[in-house]
Structure 1
Amino acid sequence: MDSDDTSTISGRSLQVGGTRASDRRYDCLDDAARLARRYIDGLQDRPVGAQAGLGELRAALARPLTDEGEDPSVVVESLARDVDPGLVASGGPRYFGFVIGGAVPAAVAADWLVSAWDQNGGGFVASPALSVVEEVAATWVRELLGVPASSGVGFVTGCQMANFTCLAAARHAILRDAGWDVEAHGLHGAPRVRVLAGEYAHVTVGVACRLLGLGQLVDVVPVDDQGRMRADALRDALAGGTGDPTIVCAQAGEINTGAFDPFVDIARICREHRAWLHIDGAFGLWAAASPRSRGLLAGAEHADSWATDGHKWLNVPYDCGIAIVADPRAHRVAMTSTSAYVPAHDDDEPYGFDWSPEFSRRARGVTVYAALRQLGRHGLADLVDRCCDHARLIARRLAAEPGIDVVNDVVLNQVLVRFGDDDALTSTVVQRVQRDGICWLAGSTFRGRSVMRISVVGWQTTPADAHRSADAIIAAARTAGG
């Protein structure tokens, strides 16, 4: 082919052998930035819930796949247009569903760069720079959460895989102490591993146990009226055991109430019975960043492992979970993998696949690095405190209204609400609020009763948003109540 020969890709010409004449394939990146900025700028005013249903979205997005491909800018423009009615404004200031945070600007921008750099975050040899970025981010996370500085840290997809990773390390350590090498021999013939968790443990703990071959029949420990594990019940359960290697799963931030298990007592009991203590702190672990709230975590520093999410209260884009294990050797042995084409490396050389289940993965710790640099210690503490203040404001407004009951102690960012002490009315109010679009929140069930569940974790929420949302909930309750 001559140096001035050209090829055409999706209708755009480029010179193959010499200087590019009109290569505009990457104009779509500018288009994406413009469209993303327009979406983010509109979060304050757009309805919070989706405006299109399943049928409409399928009609807009399901199209025949072409043989020749399409212009990249056309793809990006039409994608943004067609998905827009089905987007939920979860990054906005009045989204209070499912403990979903927004994303601070530095983290969004860093996430774009991660995609543009397209590095495998699995190890130093594949991406030296981003491996070091994640190493630094891990150091900051340890410091902010008050866990041992020597802990292993793995960046995973979310708290499902963070729980999995931590419990894999736990499985390794307690079976090792029982004389069994689970990595070499598997579970067939191994001592039985006993797992105890509170009655309201998150479903991801059970799923992690199932994936690890431990079964989903976790021994349930009774809880109090806020969903906190009862330390006396845990002591009785451990005392009545058969001496099997044991893992105890506690919670920092019960998923409905936001309550914290009594870690001082639980940690002492676990030490007495040589049980591994794991803490599922998907959002609640970030309370450690706030001098005002970190007392809720007293004793949590004595756990053996901790799981949390970055895409909740830290407000980085999906997906980002963080698995932390106090014994880095147990963490690494449970996770690390190698192959003939992977160079040997020293323990202090940053290889992401030493600490997470994935061999190839996105360098998701970069968004953590960027968010923490933007926020700083004081900014992160302020984010946590503001969200708690907004939750309490909404709770006060609702509790003052006849027929509306706040059924939990608002110790953090979670508010549970019941209307007319009636399941059907509560569900109706939730649906009306979702449909009105001023704010968005979800229904749940707590202690066998339907509740409205309000989770405040977004960095953009202001007192005005909290008041506006409370007004919308009260108006929906009055209308629904006749």
Structure 2
Amino acid sequence: MTNDDRAPLDLAYRHAIDYLGGLRERPVGATADLGRLLELFGGPMPAGPAPAVDTVELLGRAVAEGGVPAASGPRFFGYVTGGTLPVAIAADWLVAAWDQTASLYNLAPAISVAEHVAAEWIVDLFGLPEGTSVGFPTGCTMAHLTALAAARHHLLAKAGWDVERYGLPGAPEVTIVGGAQRHMTIDLALRYLGFGSGRVLVVPVDERGRMRPDALAETLAGREGPIIVCAQVGDVNSGAIDPVGEISDIAHRYDAWVHVDGAFGLWAAASPELRPLVAGVEKADSWACDAHKWLNVPYDCGIVMIAHPEAHRGAMLNERAGYLPPGTPGERDAIEWVPDFSRRARSLPVWAALRTLGKSGVADLVERCCALTRRFAEQLATVPGVEALNDVVLNQVMVRFGDDDALTRDVIARIQGSGVCWFGGTTWYGRAAMRVSVVSWQTTEEDVDRSVEVVRAAVAAATQHSARQGVPLPS
């Protein structure tokens, strides 16, 4: 490597360290407008080569001019977006530098072994059945796709149908069941797999958004043939957790496959304090979660876990092309467990985070975020006009201001424009609300307190603005 080759790497490192070091002070939301970003990145493609350091410097300018929000910082609460642990970032840098195709053992043996170990640690951490197979797809959407493909394989094979060879035309119909509050990524996976999202039998939920076991029993009563039931651990708005153990017991009476969407909520299983909230989750047949949420590793990394390894492998890789080496016992080939062939070693930051944190460190990270969420809820309750819309279960709080949609949206916009913190809007049972998600390892009590004061000021300003405009305030 020449000095010219090294220069852009050195510059990128300095920009990265500056960005990470300034997360606590810099504005949380993006401030650059579309026109400026098009000016920075657009224009015709250069006719010839340009200095690499100039390209890297332009990326640094995009950050300096507000084109990149501090979403991995301590006061970004708008989505369930984790921060990034320093050791996970370091591992991810090495992943990019090594540039290994982490698909086959013979291409990247060290990465294959680290992934195998990380998979075993995950199964143990979540208390899942021994022998559960694990894959590391891009995120929860592809984790759902992988798990539901395994379910399709398993159920239709039992019915005597080879779905990988003959597809769904002519196959026994698979009944899909899901709660009314299921996440949209479940429906996306069903679409990709050919089931269609419009065929889901929707099970009513309670006031917290949890699937009702009695309603599930009614939905399944008298049904025959292959059935997949999709449960949820951690509603993206309320944090609510379906009673997965009871759901599994009911579903398994019909020989159904139970899949759990645990995008962030499944991490509660890693905490001795919170594990009772997900009691019985180990009874399910498959699980999906994101590592780039609560484990705080870089994007993009999901985790899929399946209690039926042969169905998992059968759905992902039925036959190997002639140029691929045969599977060797003890050697992990990642292509057997995820849809993608050519893939980066996204499991290495997971291994690095788990090794560095240990079981107690993961538990502390999850428990600390939940404690900070309760602090948010307690302090937001002291703000005039605030209405809490959910009980804190994990790391999610929803509030509404003045029982008024317009006022609520105005408050959210003012908070986002403050630069101090960032919350997102949502709709809960037809009413506008503000959602608070605490999932970054960097968030402290001071960050919560400071953010609540911003909310307090935004509510006061929005209320005064409504009064000046002659809008009647809610009683």
Return the TM-score normalized by structure 2: 0.95
Q: 1:21-420 to 2 correspondence within 5 Å? A: 23-84=3-64, 85-217=66-198, 218-241=200-223, 243-336=224-317, 338-420=320-402
SS of the counterpart of 2:136? Answer: strand
Deviating beyond 4 angstroms after TM superposition, the runs of 4 or more aligned structure 1 residues are: none
- Distance in 1 between the 2:321 and 2:409 partners? 53
The aligned amino acid for 1:442 is: G
1:349, 1:196 → 2: CA distance? 37
Of 442, 455, 460, the residue aligned with 1:460 is: 442
Match for residue 470 of structure 2?
none
Give the superposition deviation at 1:471.
0.9
- Asked if structure 2 preserves the Cα contact closer than 8 Å seen for 1:57 and 1:83, the reply is no
Q: Aligned equivalents of 1:348 and 1:201: distance in 2?
A: 37
Distance 1:424 1:317, change over 3 A: same
What RMSD, in angstroms, separates the aligned Cα atoms of the two structures?
A: 1.1
Aligned to 1:416, the other structure's residue is in SS state: strand
Q: Percent identity?
A: 53
CA displacement, residues 250-276 of structure 1 (integer Å, 9 cap, x when unaligned): 000011000100112101101111110
Distance in 2 (CA, whole Å) between partners of 1:106 and 1:70 is: 33
Q: Does 2:416 correspond to 1:434?
A: yes
Letter in 1 for 2:452: A
Tell me the CA shift for residue 184 of structure 1.
Answer: 1.7
Structure 2 letter corresponding to 1:420: G
8 Å Cα contact 1:101-1:459 kept in structure 2:
yes
Q: Secondary structure at the match of 2:343?
A: coil
Could you give the per-residue CA deviations for residues 425-469 of structure 1, whole angstroms, max 9, x where no partner exists? 111111110011111010001111111000000000000001111
SS in 2 for 1:86: coil
CA distance in structure 2 between the aligned counterparts of 1:90 and 1:338, rounded to whole angstroms: 41
Q: Deviations over 1:250-309 (max 9, x none)?
A: 000011000100112101101111110000000000011111111111010000000000
Letter in structure 2 aligned against 1:457 = V
Residue 24 of structure 1: CA displacement? 2.1
Cα deviation 1:192-211 (Å, max 9, x = unaligned): 11111000100000010010
Deviations 1:85-120 (A, max 9, x none): 111101100001110001000000100100000000
Structure 2 gap segments, 5+ residues each: 465-475
Q: TM-score by structure 1 length? A: 0.94
| Secondary structure of the corresponding residue to residue 426 of structure 1 | helix
Distance in 2 (CA, whole Å) between partners of 1:295 and 1:475 is 38
2:92·2:298 contact (CA, 8 Å) conserved in 1? yes
Gaps of 5+ in 1: 1-19
Residue 5 of structure 1 corresponds to: none
Superposition deviation, residue 406 in structure 1: 1.1
SS in 2 for 1:25: helix
Answer whether contact 1:196 1:249 (CA < 8 A) is retained: yes
